[in-house]
Structure formats: C-alpha cells, structure tokens
A and B are shown apart, each in its own frame.
Chain A
Amino acid sequence: MDYASELIEKGKRIDGRKFDEFRAISLKEGIIKNAEGSARVKFGETEVVAGVKLELGTPFPDSPDQGILVVNAEFTPLASPDFEPGPPSEDAIELARIVDRGIRESKCIELEKLCLIPNEKVWCVFVDIHIINHQGNLLDASALASIAALRNAKIPKIENDKIIRGEFEKELPVVFKPINITVAKVGNNFILDPLLEEEEIAKAKLSISVRDDDKICAIQKQGSGIFKTEEIEKALELAIEKSKELRKLIK
C-alpha cells in the first residue's frame, strides 16, 4: 500500500489534518479590476481565480425573459505538468458543468431580473474559472471562487445601448450561496478537501452542492469506484455540515 493510503488507514493524513478538515482557506474578492466580479481562492497551495464578465445578448427561445449564465473552466498549463494547452479537456468541461449546475440549480442568480427586453435583450453572465495551481480539490475551490465572484459582481451602466465599463448600475442579484463539498472515498474512509496525492488514491468521489437552506442542488459521482447507499447518506450529511463553515467565508 502507498504512504497516503497507509496513513489514512491509521486515521491520519499526509499534512496532519483531520479527515473532515479543509486546508487553510484564503478568499480575496474583487481582485480583477476589469471584471465585473472576481475572487481568488486558495486551499493550501491549490489556487483558483474566477472572474465574472457581463455582456448583452439575446435570450434563449425557451426562456425569453431570463438572463443567461455561462460557466467555463480553463486548466491553464501553468498550473500543473498534467495540463496541456489546447481546447478544454474532459476534466475541465466536467468541472465547469458541475460548478454551473450548483449555481444554476440553487437559483441563486435572479435571472428574471437580468432581462432588459423580453425575447431581445438580456444580460449574459459569464463565469470564467482559471486554475493557477493544482494541488487537489479544484472543484470545491472553483465553486467557492465562482459564487464569491458572483456575490461581488455589479451590473454595468448602459447608455445608448452600449455598456459603460467601469460604471455600475447596481449589484448582480445573487440571493443564495451554494457551496460545493467533495467527499473523497479512500479505502472505506471519507476525507474532505483531498490533496492531489489523496485524489490519486481515492477510488470514488461524491461532489455535493448545498444551498443555504441545506437543500441539495447538485450531486456528481466521480471516479471509477462504487458507493453503498448508506455511504451516500453519510456523504450528504458531511457535505451539509461542512458547507455551513465555508459559506461563512463569503460576503
């Protein structure tokens, strides 16, 4: 057995944390001047920047009176020797789609307030996630950075159908703070905020997005291991508990 697995069998982790303990989290908001909203999140050495940009666009025909949310993630090659330049990898697409569902399904953005002219003109909210350093648990860090960036985002002023950058109308209406918690299964133990080394030995992971009222807004099983029913219940409980702690970090 490898070192990390052996330690976990004994109830310990490489960096001395408890199983349900996150690394030191740092969250800085509004760090990108040219973005309408932004946040930089660190979980230990893992580092992620999320930026929110607002553009004007045409609504989708099936939701003519609602703004549009688009989440994208870039695994920039500077962040890890495993990331390569080029179009988004399968993992980057999956991460962006999981973050997207956590935000969308929580209904935290009041998209109906982002409609300017039904069928014609709405605000498109672009959340772009850039990975700066990959030392494990990119998903929870990305989700936290995204919701923090949305919470400090502002809607720009419009004059004669043009966006005036740098001048703002009001805050982006974001009424909830969904938090994503990934529960990693190593052997028969559950750990939170896995390091890269721990992710490599985790057979399966369950990513759970929790809203302020403890409602679950998205779940995604990852990794080629399996879960028993009672393990899923335990993971949900863990995620609900832990989400409260992370939510306090966001304004």
Chain B
Amino acid sequence: MKEIELIKNGKRIDGREAEQMREIEMQVDVVSRANGSAQVKFGNTIVVASVYGPKELYPKYLREPETGILRCRYAMAPFSTEDRKTPGPDRRSIELSKVIRIAIEPAIFLEDFPKAVVDIFVEVLQADGSTRVTGINAASLALASAGIPLKDLICACSVGKIDNTLVVDLNGKEDNFSEADMSFAMLPSKDEITLLQMDGLLTKEEVMKLIEIAKRSCKEIYELQKRVLREKYKGE
C-alpha cells in the first residue's frame, strides 16, 4: 500500500529531524467579536479558534446547577483539504469535537460559573496534518485570552511512527502513510494527560516512548503559548 519514502538520509520529507516540530506561529485576538480568539499555524496547518462566554445557557433545561458546561465544535472549511470537504458536520468532525472538548475540560474551573456555558469554535482553514492538536493549542490561547479561569494552559501535539522511526508533529502526507499516529494533549505544569488517541500498530514500549516525545514537545509549545500571552498583556 505504501509507495512513498517518508524518511530519506535521516531527514523527513520536509527536511525535518525526527523530533523537530514544524515552524509554529501563534497569534491571539484575531476575531474582535469573540471574548477570546487565536490563530495557530503548524507549518501549513492553519486553525482559528474563538471562545464565547461564559454566558447564560439556553434552553434553560440544559443548565447544570453546580457547574458550567463546555461546548466545542470542530469544523473544516470546504477549501481546507485537497478534495473539497462538504460543509457541515460529518462523523469525523463530530468525534473530534468531543475529543477536543474532553482534552480541554480538565483545564477549566467550570464550577466557577454554574448554569453558564462556554462555547469554543475551532475552524480549520488549511489542513496539512495534526489539525485537532493545532486546534487545541488555538483553543487554549483563546480561552486564556478570554480571561476564563484556567488551571493551566492546554498544550497539544501529534506524534507517530513513520518508516520505522518515532517522530513528532506529523504533516498530512506523513499522517496518511504513517504506521501509527497519536494525538496528545496535556496540562504541562501539572504533568497531566488530557488527550490520548492512537491508531496504528505499536508495542507498549513504543507507546510509552511516544508519550515522552510528546511531553517534551508540549513543554516547548507551552513556552510559545506563554510568550504570545505575555506579549498581549505587555502593552496594557
């Protein structure tokens, strides 16, 4: 099934080392109408996230008396992929919306705003692999920028196995032809893992090695997220 070589002379198809992430760009407050927003680029993958709330939840029967609730919607723009993506939710995006929500929920003090809701919208503008984790990083910045009380920022990356090598931050081609790929998110200062999704074939030892690689990369992403947020508040 696999026709293409993903690693040549020790380098990946885009010239990276195994444990090197693509160039990362982060920007906050890109949507002025939202309470908080951010755009994050991992190489060619571009994702925008915006946060609305906490706000009153309607219809009222959905309200939780003891806690606020978090809703999340992940969507891909029709032009974000090689073949046009039909707009509207499909099975993949419904699952990813849930997975992203679950990755973020442990970070928010939801009990601080009972009966209310926080909405996160994640839009993939350009897809070149690792869109869900890029979306989680954008959502983390958008939440922080909206001033929502957080236990920690949420940092996410993908790891995987290509051509028998363990690598970080898979691009679209690597993702398509990988032997295994894993989406990972954590709260770095607490060393708590909030997302772990894997498909492929790996030994237990390889899974644990990938988690170590992912944790190291998340620490780097953590520094980048903090830097962007510091920049935002420096001027104020």
Contact = CB atoms under 8 A, between A and B. Distances in A.
Interface of A: 63, 66, 88, 90, 93-94, 96-97, 101, 104-107, 206, 211, 214-229, 232-233, 236-237, 240
Contacts of B91: 88, 93, 96-97
A224 B192 contact: no
Nearest to B94: A93
Contacts of A220: 99, 196-198
20 contacts: A90-B98, A94-B95, A94-B98, A96-B91, A105-B180, A105-B199, A214-B204, A215-B201, A216-B202, A216-B203, A218-B199, A219-B196, A224-B105, A226-B193, A228-B191, A228-B193, A232-B196, A232-B208, A232-B211, A240-B204
Q: Label chain A's interface by main secondary structure.
A: mixed
B160 to A, nearest CB: 12
A228 B193 CA distance: 6
Given A94-B95, A220-B99, 9 more contacts: A93-B95, A216-B201, A216-B207, A217-B201, A219-B198, A220-B198, A226-B192, A229-B191, A236-B208
Contacts, number: 96
A236 B101 CA distance: 24
Most A C-beta atoms less than 10 A away, residue of B106, B182, B198: B198
| Interface size of B as a range | 35 or more
B106 A219 contact: no
B192 A107 contact: no
Nearest 10 CB-CB pairs, A to B?
Answer: A226-B192, A224-B105, A219-B198, A221-B196, A101-B199, A227-B193, A105-B199, A236-B204, A218-B199, A215-B201
A15 to B, nearest CB: 28
A123 to B, nearest CB: 17
Given A93-B91, A229-B193, A107 B201 contact: yes
Contact of A63 (B1, B98, B99, B215): B1
B106 A221 contact: no
B200 interface: yes
B187 interface: yes
B182 A214 contact: no
